[in-house]
Amino acid sequence: MNFYLPFGYEIKDESPNNIILKNGSKTYILFNNPQEDPASDVVYTATVALFDELDVNEQFKKNDRLGFIIIKRLEKDMNELTIGVGGTKITTQVKTGSMNTEAKVMTQIVNSVENDK
């Protein structure tokens, strides 16, 4: 798997389907199922099923790709943010005020994932 790694981010750990990224004190989990194509809803459906209730649960389709954003408020100013495309998603915990900036970078990462053929 190849993907864009923004400046300041580093790979802390790798397993076949998960890569743990760090940027300062923040940790991100990049999950990839290479069996699923960019239009697949399998990872989205499995992720939504993990929660009883979500604050944001949105899907969108563009150019034969299924994108999604899921936000679960954890406490007053902390949220779990997941952004995905098809069989790939990235998750982190983020303060509410930083969510927009984090979402942009996370979207760049998941959109850049290419599986080795």
DSSP 55: S
- Regarding pTM above 0.85, the answer is yes
Domains of the chain, by residue range, sit at 32-84+97-112
Give percent of the chain above pLDDT 90. Answer: 91
Chain-centroid distance, C-alpha 46: 13
Pairing of strands 10-14, 65-75: unpaired
Residue-wise pLDDT tens digits, 93-102? 999 999 999 9
User: What are the pLDDT digits (tens) for 33-74?
Assistant: 999 999 999 999 999 999 999 999 999 999 999 999 999 999
Determine the pLDDT at residue 1.
87
Asked if residue 68 lies in contact with residue 59, where contact means CB atoms within 8 angstroms, the answer is yes
Tokens at residue 54, please?
Answer: 């979500």
Helices and strands: H and E segment counts in the chain: 2, 7
For 14-35, the pLDDT digits (tens) are 998 999 999 999 999 999 999 9
